[in-house]
Structure 1
Amino acid sequence: MGRREREAVAAGGRLCEAARAVVGDHGRAVEAVRAALQPIHDAAADQALDAIPVARLKEVTEGRLRLGEVESSGLRSVRQVLDAGSYRLRQIPGVGQRTADQVLAAARQISDAVGETITVHIDVDRPEPLTTSLVMALHVLVEAGPDARRAVDTAVALSERLGPLLAEAAPVAGRLRMLLVGQSKRAQALEAAAQVRGLTEEAAQGGVPELLAQASVDLLRGTSTEVAAWVDFELRSAEYYSLLAEISGRRPDTAAAEGFLPDEVAGRVRDQTLDDTYRRVSLRGYQAFGARFALAQRKVILGDEMGLGKTIQAIAALAHLAAEGQSHFMVVCPASVMINWTREIEARSKLRVAPLHGPDRHEAFADWKGRGGVGVTTFDSLRGFPAPGSGELGMLVVDEAHYVKNPKTRRSQVVTEWSGRCERVLFMTGTPMENRVAEFRSLVQILQPHVAGAVGDRNGVAGSTAFRKAVAPVYLRRNQQDVLTELPGLQHTDEWEELSASDEEAYREAVSAGNFMAMRRAAYARPEKSAKLNRLREIVEDAAENGMKVVVFSSFKDVLAAVKDTLDGARSPGGGQVFGPLSGSVPPARRQQLVDEFAAEPGHAVLVAQIESAGVGLNMQAASVVIICEPQIKPTIEHQAVARAHRMGQVRSVRVHRLLTMGAVDERMVKLLKNKTRLFDEYARHSAVAESTPDAVDVSDTAIARQIVEEEQARLGAVRSEAAGHP
């Protein structure tokens, strides 16, 4: 016993003190958020209680409560009853102590229920002192980032282990104390000192003292200015809301966050660990569950609705596997989103990323094989690479996996071959089924053939409930409304317009020619007299007056050109720049650059984009107005496009305007496409949720086009005949 033991205990004491300091600093930062949140929450609750009439108190007591005297006294709302309190209630003629107590008890029950449902929305366009205080308090924790959380977890574990050991080792601090304790106590103290030394040395080797020191600095740094905090909130609102939900305890419903999976599957997923060593971003609860689902179930489809962060969940799964020692991963995606994947992996993880596309892709592939990391390639480029050997690839991620739903295509066959060589495969798609259940079933077939075989016959015609239960082990889907309680509102408006005389003439020519695509864009064929373009210009002008950014979507390049020319011609000084058109012919790098320039433009701006090219992979949270120039044959294309703006990270309400013409192709398409939306809702929107079980239906694109053309030719032919017979 001597100096070595004393130095070990002293070093352990310093480490334990640093750990406790970090826990305390983090606790104070969290309490600052709670203190800033409380008055906002209370004000929202008071407003809600003000809107609930006194008569609703009867429902709490199943009608037993007599409220006539209370209502006649002038107390109109539940909040007024709570504010009145017992004394004032007892002053009302006919109300005694017992009635007053019952009324207040019922009011408090309603108040508690309201308090649990309140979701705080932070309005970036109307900052107030209370919300500014909340944003600044959250800013401290967001800036500290995942490393601070890791430091706190490490500090808690260290404190719990070091605290008792330091107490046992206390006698070694002085020779006299060691002489005064008994032999057994001396032995315990020496053993405890040895354990303290071991823990301290292990922590030093793992960089724990530096981690704790940096966390304390980050947590105590504070925010430079209110403006800096608000700017950061607008850029990273998803991280702010994630922390707010965690601290306030306002988490989404557990069953919804877990995709309504059966208990057996959900339990297995919950037991899956998730290492964050190689991750640079915090996860929301449902996102952590999604990453665990991919790891626990090994070969799955993540079918979350657009805007819920499927990319982040995939990166979290890759980071976990990297922490376990896996070195090689592959992401396959459309060319348009390669840059987005590269950026996200670099920003959200510590993993090396290697783009494998373009003329040098084979050299890049050889380098990736040697050095490891996350290879990011396209469906077409994947065909030129040799399939991996068994165990070579830690995980294969296929983004926009509905691109491989047709097993007859070459891209599907290549993805199937790679999937068969990998132990873990993650398919990502918010639209796994567009026309028929069999398409969804074909994706499951690639991943887990035994699950696909249990679904039903080769057409996949099974009831929706049975189908979702059967695919639960391989399919997880969550919807925005279930897990993003803070998401701003989404307002859909169908803008019905009458065809102008010029529009009508162009439309009749297209119908006579039997040209379905010309029928769909006839309303823009003569821009100077187009009813749709006139309405579009009005919507954009309204957005400009309010400083809002606008995205205009169409399937057709000539429609986009007409829109751009119209808006450029109508633009007043300061009216906002028009970006685009962004179409499939624009290189992927330039597409991302256009979106970045659109987002960076101060105030109002317009981005004109082809819906199939821009509706996939590009995030457009800067826009708060979306205009869709014509209905789409696949409703999922519209859903995807809208979700590019209305997604996690959006801080403003989103208004969607769909331009439609009456008595023509648009009206017929809207009616016929309702079946497609119903099919997706019943089979794929939820995972393993009990609902009704209608049979699957198939409405193919060709069938829709043929039916509409024939019906319009018959209608317009009949109109001409009637006109000819009645001069």
Structure 2
Amino acid sequence: MPTTAPARQRKKSSSARRDDEAPIIPILARKVREVEAKAQRNKLGPTNRVKFQVIAFLVREERARVKADESVGDQARAELLKRLDGVATILAKTAARDTSLIQLLEVDQATSPVARRMRRDWLLDAGVELAAEELVIDDAKPAAPDTVVPAVASERAVRPVQVDARIESNPFLAPDFARYTPRPNPRRRLDDWELMGPLYKSFAQGAGGGSASMTLPEVPEFDRLSPRGLEVMPHQSRFLEAVRQGHRSFLLADEPGLGKTAQSVLAASVANAYPLLVVVPNVVKMNWAREVERWTPHRRASVISGDGADVDAFADVFIVNYEILDRHLAWLADLGLGGMVVDEAHFIKNLSSQRSQNVLALAQRVRQVPGADPLMLALTGTPLINDVEDFDAIWRFLDWTDGTKPGPELMERLDGTGYTPADKAFYPAARQAVIDMGIVRRRKKDVARDLPDKLVADMPVQLDDEVGRSIAQAEKELQRRLADRYRRILAARGDRGLAPGEIDEDIVDLVATGELEESRAAGTDGDNVFSMVRRIGQGKAVLAADYAAQLQRSVGKVVFFAKHVDVMDRAEEHFRQAGIRAVAIRGEQSQAARQQAIDSFNDDPEVGVIVCSLTAAGVGVNLQAASNVVLAELSWTSAEQTQAIDRVHRIGQDEPVTAWRIIAAHTIDQRIAELIDRKEGLALRALDGERTGDEPAESVQLAALKSLLRDALGA
């Protein structure tokens, strides 16, 4: 709804540099640097994209004003235009780094309410007097689209033969979406504030704020949910009691291994949220069907595969993997879903991906039915991978925000705090307001105290053969290339007032970012950080497999994780030669073959090792027959490493779990291991309220390149 800027004049910051002839320019310069810093860390979320757009058209507006203002002298005009050119140059460089921004440069005016509000606030900060019509911002939303199927997917769309029969068997008329109009939101005190940035900041500063978990009801006196022979644990029972009391949207962020699947299956039963759609990674489709049968044997599950020819349209639970969801969007949207579960919800964090757009479009359709109160569950033990803005897509799925501002319920909670983002007290209060929307986060050490300990132990290995020497030479060449670029840029920029031996961190960031972009474009071709890490993995393959073989002979079953197919191949061959029976989980396997491998490892005493792909088996797989994990290759994120280890360290495990990381000594492998450990601080701070070092939100790859460059410069 319309919002109006406060009538009172905003207080000028004492630290803000003012310019009598163009007071908006210092503001634009400060804002563009903020956007540039985010882009360099590959974390340009929706708030900063809008900021980028507003800067672009304000630069154009100010350039036209300066040129037309006859009261400005020629010398002053030239200086102002030069400063605007500087802002425009940073915009162009940022757009070159993230090409999806280029289209935002083509917009001539602020189109969205958020962009118009941002433009208004910046101009008011600069002391600009605005016309009355510019002070009022209309938040009216465009009409919802008639279909959830994107044009790119319409040709692939399918409709199983039984679907129409199920829809026609429903005695109720289909809802008329055209007649449904949302009620206008009341005018609120915080309508004039940009709130998404402060909400993210409230989690980034989460230290001291306690665990990110809403207050749950006490454990009910009787467990009336578990089928015969099964038992719901107390932490699961409290979550289900919250569902029974009427809460319907959750980010269930329990640590991996605490039974999120079982909780979701039972929550659907408690809420009678049928038909229920479960969107999952391909590797866990069959496991979800088993869990539905196990925990709710009176319900039928249907696994959707390919074109859906075998779909049981009269089932209670439909299970589909992300990769084929686009083919089934249309009929699922017509089915009248009573609930939706997104498993491993961090998979949708990239809002530009078709995967994310499909999930969000279907979620919107599920909520559109008048009077509907669907059960919406986002499940992930690792909602934050690199940055707090990883929350964005999940919050949109749950309808807590729309990406540009909080939804009505969250806005009401924020308004009730009595604070604004100008108050320090706003941030812990805002964090708690979001948590109370439905974040449930429990840690193993708190709710499963009888679960054995988990230890991550590093095993350094020496690559002293020809492969090791070539890797060492490639690393030196990379350092030399980075240092040469740094020195050329430093020489071109001239004296920057650096003390002897001091390093310009801005140039370090620029050089490392440029190298990372080139490396991503080249992939594993040439000598870059990606090809180097892959060669290290190849060099460690047999050494890691040999260590796993020794473990297997002494402690029994072992889980062996690797990133690349050739490393898995070498490991399997080594186990075969060593006389150890091994099975594997790979991305190209069929569902039946994958499940057979899991069952064989867990149930067959003759199977000693399971060789797993970090991407194909890192989520949703139960391998607790083992208590030892060998990580032959390192992941690029702490979350992926944690997910892999927690295939073993989960409810039902009765032995201490040890994860052995095989580290190539005196190589970039060591740096990556250290950086992965440091990245765990984000989740501990944002979700668990622990006080940790405030590490910058940058990728492990970028941090590793910076570390190499600093060493080359003698820092």
Normalised-by-shorter TM-score class: 0.5 to 0.7
Tell me the distance in 2 between the aligned counterparts of 1:499 and 1:411. Answer: 40
Counterpart check, 1:467 vs 2:465? no
Counterpart check, 1:408 vs 2:352? yes
2:232 paired residue number = 283
Residues 220-274 of structure 1: CA deviation (Å, up to 9, x unaligned): xxxxxxxxxxxxxxxxxxxxxxxxxxxxxxxxxxxxxx96745xx435x879998
Counterpart check, 1:659 vs 2:662? yes
Instruction: Report the CA distance shift for 1:260/1:605 in structure 2 as closer, same or farther (over 3 A).
Output: same
TM-superposed CA distance for 1:400, in Å, is 0.7
2:242 paired residue number = 293
Instruction: Report the CA distance shift for 1:702/1:523 in structure 2 as closer, same or farther (over 3 A).
Output: closer
2:140 paired residue number = none
Residues 333-380 of structure 1: CA deviation (Å, up to 9, x unaligned): 11111000011111221243343422341662xx42xx2411111123
Asked if the contact 1:550/1:627 (under 8 Å) is kept, the reply is yes
Letter in 1 for 2:581: Q
TM-superposed CA distance for 1:418, in Å, is 2.3
Asked if the contact 2:563/2:613 (under 8 Å) is kept, the reply is yes
1:438 paired residue number = 389
TM-superposed CA distance for 1:416, in Å, is 1.5
Asked if the contact 1:552/1:626 (under 8 Å) is kept, the reply is yes
Counterpart check, 1:501 vs 2:448? no
Asked if the contact 2:243/2:271 (under 8 Å) is kept, the reply is no
Counterpart check, 1:480 vs 2:431? no
Please, which of 577, 580, 586 is the counterpart of residue 581 of structure 2? 577
Asked if the contact 2:681/2:693 (under 8 Å) is kept, the reply is no
Residues 591-649 of structure 1: CA deviation (Å, up to 9, x unaligned): 12111112222156011111111111111011121000122111111101111011101
Letter in 2 for 1:628: L
TM-score (norm 1): 0.54
Tell me the distance in 1 between the aligned counterparts of 2:351 and 2:601. Answer: 38
Asked if the contact 1:294/1:300 (under 8 Å) is kept, the reply is no
1:394 paired residue number = 338
1:702-717 matched pairs, under 5 angstroms: 703-704=702-703, 706-707=705-706, 714=712
TM-superposed CA distance for 1:508, in Å, is 3.5
Please, which of 333, 342, 347 is the counterpart of residue 280 of structure 2? 333
Tell me the distance in 1 between the aligned counterparts of 2:624 and 2:256. Answer: 12
Instruction: Report the CA distance shift for 1:644/1:478 in structure 2 as closer, same or farther (over 3 A).
Output: same
Other structure's SS at 1:616 match: coil
Tell me the distance in 2 between the aligned counterparts of 1:275 and 1:559. Answer: 48
Tell me the distance in 2 between the aligned counterparts of 1:545 and 1:692. Answer: 39
Cα RMSD (Å)? 3.3
1:21-32 matched pairs, under 5 angstroms: none
Instruction: Report the CA distance shift for 1:706/1:315 in structure 2 as closer, same or farther (over 3 A).
Output: same
Counterpart check, 1:355 vs 2:302? yes
Letter in 2 for 1:417: A
TM-superposed CA distance for 1:330, in Å, is 1.0
Letter in 2 for 1:520: V
Please, which of 556, 566, 569 is the counterpart of residue 564 of structure 2? 556
Other structure's SS at 2:601 match: helix
Other structure's SS at 2:266 match: helix
1:54-65 matched pairs, under 5 angstroms: none
Asked if the contact 2:271/2:375 (under 8 Å) is kept, the reply is no
Instruction: Report the CA distance shift for 1:638/1:519 in structure 2 as closer, same or farther (over 3 A).
Output: same
Tell me the distance in 2 between the aligned counterparts of 1:563 and 1:274. Answer: 46
Instruction: Report the CA distance shift for 1:619/1:696 in structure 2 as closer, same or farther (over 3 A).
Output: same
Tell me the distance in 2 between the aligned counterparts of 1:274 and 1:386. Answer: 38
Tell me the distance in 2 between the aligned counterparts of 1:352 and 1:292. Answer: 20
Asked if the contact 1:397/1:425 (under 8 Å) is kept, the reply is yes
TM-superposed CA distance for 1:539, in Å, is 4.5
TM-score (norm 2): 0.55
Instruction: Report the CA distance shift for 1:426/1:563 in structure 2 as closer, same or farther (over 3 A).
Output: same
Other structure's SS at 2:592 match: helix
1:88-107 matched pairs, under 5 angstroms: none
Letter in 1 for 2:380: T
Other structure's SS at 1:419 match: helix
Instruction: Report the CA distance shift for 1:596/1:389 in structure 2 as closer, same or farther (over 3 A).
Output: closer
1:673 paired residue number = 676
Instruction: Report the CA distance shift for 1:393/1:274 in structure 2 as closer, same or farther (over 3 A).
Output: farther
Counterpart check, 1:428 vs 2:437? no
Tell me the distance in 2 between the aligned counterparts of 1:427 and 1:657. Answer: 31
Other structure's SS at 2:602 match: helix
Q: Which has the higher helix share?
A: 1
Please, which of 365, 378, 387 is the counterpart of residue 321 of structure 2? 378
Please, which of 605, 622, 645 is the counterpart of residue 619 of structure 1? 622
Instruction: Report the CA distance shift for 1:563/1:389 in structure 2 as closer, same or farther (over 3 A).
Output: closer
Tell me the distance in 1 between the aligned counterparts of 2:624 and 2:429. Answer: 34
Letter in 2 for 1:678: G
Instruction: Report the CA distance shift for 1:535/1:670 in structure 2 as closer, same or farther (over 3 A).
Output: closer
Query: For structure 2, which runs of at least 5 residues remain unmatched after alignment?
Result: 1-209, 368-373, 415-419, 478-525
Other structure's SS at 1:495 match: strand
Asked if the contact 2:239/2:263 (under 8 Å) is kept, the reply is yes
Letter in 2 for 1:386: A
Asked if the contact 2:664/2:670 (under 8 Å) is kept, the reply is yes
Counterpart check, 1:565 vs 2:569? no
Query: For structure 1, which runs of at least 5 residues remain unmatched after alignment?
Result: 1-257, 719-727
Letter in 2 for 1:579: V
2:697 paired residue number = 698
Q: Which has the higher contact order (CA 8 A, sep 6+)?
A: 2
Residues 177-226 of structure 1: CA deviation (Å, up to 9, x unaligned): xxxxxxxxxxxxxxxxxxxxxxxxxxxxxxxxxxxxxxxxxxxxxxxxxx
Tell me the distance in 2 between the aligned counterparts of 1:277 and 1:674. Answer: 38
Other structure's SS at 1:392 match: coil
Other structure's SS at 1:658 match: strand
Deviates more, 1:702-711 or 1:282-291: 702-711
Letter in 2 for 1:533: V
Tell me the distance in 2 between the aligned counterparts of 1:327 and 1:411. Answer: 23
Identical positions, percent: 26
Please, which of 474, 492, 495 is the counterpart of residue 456 of structure 2? 492
Letter in 2 for 1:416: L
Asked if the contact 1:303/1:478 (under 8 Å) is kept, the reply is yes
Counterpart check, 1:517 vs 2:525? no
TM-superposed CA distance for 1:699, in Å, is 1.1
Counterpart check, 1:309 vs 2:256? no
TM-superposed CA distance for 1:678, in Å, is 0.5
Other structure's SS at 1:491 match: strand
The size of the alignment, in residue pairs, is: 430
Tell me the distance in 2 between the aligned counterparts of 1:502 and 1:655. Answer: 31
Letter in 1 for 2:554: E
Letter in 1 for 2:594: R
Tell me the distance in 1 between the aligned counterparts of 2:654 and 2:574. Answer: 29
1:641 paired residue number = 644
Instruction: Report the CA distance shift for 1:468/1:588 in structure 2 as closer, same or farther (over 3 A).
Output: farther
Letter in 2 for 1:302: L
Tell me the distance in 1 between the aligned counterparts of 2:357 and 2:574. Answer: 45
